[in-house]
């Protein structure tokens, strides 16, 4: 009988203890943005942003400057006026300037993008979200096919492209 009471007492103490459920972060930081003020967490963002950028690059492949123009924001709360930082030091400060640049580039080089990765993220404290893409860019430069590998950081706010940076590396013959 004593053994039963002892066993019952152990069972009561074991199962009556409350344990707190571990906290679950539904969207843990997947990365960060480092600035002079320190590191700010970056998290997974809305996958719909990927479709926005896919359509934006499709419009570039079709040389549809009007569709591109309509997908761009005049300005954003985060950065102000629309902008583009190009891979060779170009800095375009408005949708109109970007449109003029593209019209000339499409006519002379027929650039074509082929995306091979795309990821969307949200930086804590920023209004909009980001899409980072990697793609090959094939264009005709003075009669020669030139291929580069590019990474672009697109800023999206209210469903529109507010600006972007492009980083580029030339392909090598072995690739």
In-domain check, residue 80:
yes
Q: 136 Cβ partners below 8 Å, 6+ apart?
A: 113, 114, 116, 147, 148, 149, 150, 171
Give mean pLDDT, residues 20-41.
Answer: 79
**118-169 pLDDT tens trace:** 999 999 999 999 999 999 999 999 999 999 999 999 999 999 999 999 999 9
The CATH number of the domain holding residue 82 is 3.10.450.50
**54-67 pLDDT tens trace:** 999 999 999 999 99
In-domain check, residue 6:
no
In-domain check, residue 14:
no
Please, which residues bridge with residue 147 across strands? Answer: 138
Q: 74 Cβ partners below 8 Å, 6+ apart?
A: 81, 82, 95
pLDDT of residue 161: 99
Q: How many domains does the chain have?
A: 1
In-domain check, residue 21:
no
In-domain check, residue 159:
yes
In-domain check, residue 16:
no
**59-103 pLDDT tens trace:** 999 999 999 999 999 999 999 999 999 999 999 999 999 999 999
The residue segments making up the domain with residue 61 are 41-170
pTM for the model stands at 0.82
């Amino acid at each position: 009988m004593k053994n039963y009471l002892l066993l019952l007492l152990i069972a009561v103490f074991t199962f009556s203890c409350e344990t707190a459920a571990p906290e679950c972060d539904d969207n843990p930081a997947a990365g960060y943005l480092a600035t002079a003020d320190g590191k700010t967490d970056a998290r997974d963002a809305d996958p719909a942003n990927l479709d926005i950028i896919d359509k934006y690059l499709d419009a570039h492949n079709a040389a549809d400057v009007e569709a591109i123009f309509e997908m761009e924001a005049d300005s954003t709360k985060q950065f102000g006026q629309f902008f583009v930082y190009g891979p060779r030091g170009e800095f375009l400060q408005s949708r109109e300037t970007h449109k003029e640049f593209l019209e000339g580039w499409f006519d002379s080089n027929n650039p074509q993008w082929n995306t091979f990765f795309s990821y969307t993220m949200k930086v804590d404290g920023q209004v909009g979200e980001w899409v980072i893409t990697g793609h090959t860019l094939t264009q005709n430069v003075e009669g020669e096919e030139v291929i580069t590998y590019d990474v672009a950081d697109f800023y999206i706010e209210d469903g529109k492209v507010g600006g972007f940076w492009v980083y580029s590396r030339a392909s090598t013959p072995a690739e």
